[in-house]
A and B are shown apart, each in its own frame.
Chain A
Amino acid sequence: MECFSLLRSDVPALINHLGKYGELIAPHKKGDVSYSFEVVHDSNEVVLDYNRTLLPLKKMFLPPVEKLMDFSLKELSYDKVEVAITPRVFFGVHSYEMQSILRLDHSMLSGSAESNYFRRRQSSRFVGISFTPDEFHFSESVGILIEEMEGFDLFLNEVDGDFQLYVLSDHGQEMLDGFEKMAITEPEVVEGRVFKKKIRYHFNRLPRVFQYAYHSPVWAEVASRCVGCGACTLTCPTCFCFDVQDEVTVTAEDGLRQRSWDSCMLSTFAEVAGGENFREKTINRTRHRLFRKFKYITDEEGLPWCVGCGRCTAFCPAGISLPDIVNELIQEDEKAQYHRSARV
């Protein structure tokens, strides 16, 4: 693994260089307070310091609305949608975001492996960047450090205002071919980038907390504040549930089938024809969301399915905090243990 020093002022040149490899997508400022992953048209518009984008990078692999087929109602036939394999370079990606893509890989490729997802994913390269945690980030608590480099081809670690560029794969090496502005350097450890938000327990202790959390009083309290809008799952980088709809053109001769992001937090998510709803109450749905992040997949794969980006908390209109819920579950679990020990 090679490490180069790179001046901040040379980053736009690097971005332009990477653009030769494939379509470049990077964080841009959007509105007054928001950021978004967008196609790069001018390397000077790419934002290097940002807390988080509103929508996660999953939108580039599982589009919010994705056409599955065109159909003809006259012929009762359909045309498949072919996802073109074109190289894409994602620049300025935070470590938790990369970890979310690695988790999506598992979700979309284990069992039946989805071809559309695979094609988009296979042709993608990732250039990471370090970040300064704000009051919502807690990825350290789920085992993801700022400079976690798994999954990246290149990684920019900010050191005293400039950068150290790590080359992490053959693809990364290839992407840098012909870029001359750097000198080899010794990797430095950056101190002082501290997470303000924390889950009190190490994540390897959480499975035990969740093992006993199903009937915790915490769920009713959270449900009483939740408005059921689904913003948490929409902005969650590892949520992948979807719905499928058909749309017909005005001539009623043809149309398309598409899928769109759905949310287990919406009240009709588990409803079947005839009206039976298998997760009717908000309390069932808030619990389901947290169990999806910390128990169901985690029990199988050994990793939290939450990457600590803080989006669900930062964008919740009711101010519900995921790490706070986990901390309350921990507290309730400790209380229950205290009472148990008193009985012995």
Chain B
Amino acid sequence: MKRLQDVEPQQTEDLYYPTMCKVTRAKQITEMEKWYELEMPDGKSLGHHPGQFVEVSAFGIGEAPISVSSSPSKKGTFELCIRQVGTLTNVLKNYEPGDLMGIRGPFGKGFPMEKLFGKDILVIAGGIGLVPLRSLINYVIDNRQDFGRLIILYGAKTPAELLFTDELKAWETRDDVELHVTVDQPDASWKGHTGVITTLIPALDLKLNSTIAAVTGPPIMYKFVVMSLKSKQLPDDQIYLSLERRMKCGVGKCGHCQINGVYCCQDGPVFNYVDLKPLEEAL
């Protein structure tokens, strides 16, 4: 148990003050999602790992946890992609280049890159789950020689909801990236795969001993993806999932993001599936 006398004043922190970051570029990329490029003051680097999140704030509105979407290998700026789904995010919709966004973080545990080096990386992204996984994908692409295969499964509800379509095209043309995109509800022009994301899994030819799966999507998706991966005989400890919770403070205090006894903002948002299995509230 931590005692008061164990703590020196200089070890304490002002935990709740944001750094004001300037939006350098911004673009509404779908009806619901806007992409932002931001820079820290004084040319500082955000210093994040793929899978980590920041607390974004607008004065007068509040704060919300948002995944970092750019790879740490991209220096000078970082990127967010925000779905307009709540009070804050609907205000952020109006942010344009030159505007200042409050940022705290990065927070939490991202993907354990040291365990991913040399492995085949199987990315499974449902909907907006591509946003944090894009950080991992681009990190792997920027350090391509350090990893085995890069397999990306990406599912969206409709073709119009597909994110980062330019990047999807670029990934598709690379012969060192295996990209499989599917939509649940195709439109007349859709020529690709149709069906939920788990329908892409059975056909995969995986090297079971050297494949790491990185999964992010809506809460409903996890159980089914995990089931499909298990039926492929992928060992549990090679599956990483990034969970969404209400990470209000980001520093393990406010209690909102707790999954049983675990703080999602501290021990997650990226978890090894083995660590989630005993948590009844997790999946």
Tell me the A residues contacting B by CB distance below 8 Å.
Answer: 68-69, 71-73, 76-78, 80, 102-103, 105-116, 118-119, 121-122, 214, 240-246, 248, 252, 255, 257, 259, 262, 264, 269-274, 276, 278-279, 284, 288, 291, 295-297, 299-303
Residue B145 lies at the interface, judged by CB distance under 8 Å to chain A: no
Which residues from chain A contact B88 at a C-beta distance below 8 Å? 273
| Chain B residue at minimum C-beta to C-beta distance from A85 | B9
B100 touches A76 (CB 8 A): yes
B14 touches A115 (CB 8 A): yes
Tell me the B residues contacting A by CB distance below 8 Å.
Answer: 1-4, 6-7, 9, 11-18, 20, 59-64, 83, 85-89, 100, 218-219, 244-246, 248-249, 251-256, 258-261, 266, 280-281
A68 touches B16 (CB 8 A): yes
Q: How far is the CB of B124 from chain A (nearest CB, A)?
A: 19
Compute how far the CA of A240 lies from the CA of B13 in the bound complex, rounded to whole angstroms.
18
A121 touches B4 (CB 8 A): yes
CB < 8 Å neighbour of A115 from B15, B18, B252:
B15
B248 touches A274 (CB 8 A): no
Compute how far the CA of A252 lies from the CA of B59 in the bound complex, rounded to whole angstroms.
11
Compute how far the CA of A297 lies from the CA of B253 in the bound complex, rounded to whole angstroms.
13
Which residues from chain B contact A80 at a C-beta distance below 8 Å? 14, 17
B3 touches A246 (CB 8 A): no
| Chain B residue at minimum C-beta to C-beta distance from A107 | B253
Can you pick out 30 interface pairs between chain A and chain B where the beta carbons lie within 8 Å of each other? Answer: A69-B17, A71-B59, A80-B17, A109-B2, A109-B12, A110-B2, A112-B15, A112-B251, A112-B252, A113-B7, A113-B12, A115-B12, A241-B256, A242-B253, A242-B254, A243-B254, A244-B16, A244-B249, A245-B62, A246-B59, A259-B254, A262-B254, A269-B256, A278-B246, A278-B259, A278-B281, A288-B258, A291-B261, A297-B261, A302-B1
Q: A262-B256, A272-B246, A274-B85 provided; 5 other pairs, C-beta below 8 A?
A: A68-B17, A102-B1, A115-B13, A243-B248, A244-B63
Which residues from chain B contact A71 at a C-beta distance below 8 Å? 59-60
Which residues from chain B contact A214 at a C-beta distance below 8 Å? 280
B12 touches A118 (CB 8 A): yes
B254 touches A241 (CB 8 A): yes
Which residues from chain B contact A77 at a C-beta distance below 8 Å? 20
Compute how far the CA of A76 lies from the CA of B64 in the bound complex, rounded to whole angstroms.
18
Q: A242-B253, A276-B244 are known contacts. Are A102 and B3 too (CB-CB below 8 A)?
A: yes
A296 touches B62 (CB 8 A): no
| Chain B residue at minimum C-beta to C-beta distance from A277 | B246
